[in-house]
Amino acid sequence: MLALRNWTRRCFSVQLFENSADAVEDIRTGSRIAVGGYGSCGVPENSLRALHTLGTYHHTVFTATSGLAGWGLDPLLKAKQIRRLVTSYPGSNASFQRMYHDGEVELVVIPSGSLSARMYAGGAGIPAIYTKTGVGTIIEEGNFPIKYMPGGRGVEIFSAAKEKRRFRNKDHILEEAITVDFALVKAWKADTMGNLVFRRTAANFNTVMAQCARVTIAEVEEIVPHGQLDPDDIHVPAVYVHRLYKGEFYEKPIEHVTFVSRHSPALSHDPLKPAKLKIARRAARELEDGMTVHLGVGIPGLVAQYIDPSLNVMLHSESGALGIGKYPQAGTEDPDIVNTGREACSLLPMASCFSSNDAMDMLRGGHLDISIVSGFQVSQRGDLANWLIPGKYSNGVGGSMDVIAGEESRIIVTMLHNTEGKPKILKECSLPLTGQKCIDLLITEMGVFDFNREDTLVLTEIAKGVQLSALKEATGCSFLVASDLKPMPS
Nearest residue to 116 (alpha-carbon basis) of 211, 220, 200, 181: 211
According to DSSP, the residues that pair with 352 across neighbouring strands are 322
Taking the C-alpha atoms of residue 132 and residue 214, their distance in angstroms, rounded to an integer, is: 29
At how many degrees (to 10) do helices 356-364 and 112-124 cross?
A: 110
Q: Is 49 helix (H, G, I), strand (E, B) or coil?
A: helix
Answer yes or no: are the C-beta atoms of 288 and 323 closer than 8 Å. no
Answer yes or no: are the C-beta atoms of 35 and 48 closer than 8 Å. yes
* All residues at 6 or more sequence positions from 271 whose CB lies less than 8 Å from its CB, including other chains: none
* All residues at 6 or more sequence positions from 264 whose CB lies less than 8 Å from its CB, including other chains: none
Taking the C-alpha atoms of residue 12 and residue 336, their distance in angstroms, rounded to an integer, is: 29
The sign of the CA dihedral 95, 101, 107, 112 is positive
Strand order from edge to edge, sheet including 447-450: 347-353, 321-324, 314-317, 292-295, 370-374, 410-414, 441-443, 447-450, 458-462, 480-487
According to DSSP, the residues that pair with 173 across neighbouring strands are 131, 164
Taking the C-alpha atoms of residue 36 and residue 7, their distance in angstroms, rounded to an integer, is: 27
* 8-state DSSP, 442: E
The sign of the CA dihedral 464, 467, 468, 472 is negative
Q: In the annotation, is 454 catalytic? A: no
In the set 45, 318, 333, 445, the catalytic residue is: 318
What Å distances lie between residue 440 and 159, 304, 309, 477, CA to CA?
31, 20, 25, 17
CA within 13 Å, CB half, 158? 12
* 8-state DSSP, 260: B
Taking the C-alpha atoms of residue 343 and residue 337, their distance in angstroms, rounded to an integer, is: 8
What are the strands, taking DSSP E only, across 277-406? 292-295, 314-317, 321-324, 347-353, 370-374, 377-379, 384-385
Helices (H), 245-393: 273-284, 299-302, 356-364
What are the strands, taking DSSP E only, across 392-445? 410-414, 418-419, 422-423, 425-426, 441-443
Nearest residue to 208 (alpha-carbon basis) of 130, 320, 334: 320
What Å distances lie between residue 233 and 63, 92, 195, 225, 228, CA to CA?
25, 35, 10, 15, 11
Catalytic residues: 318
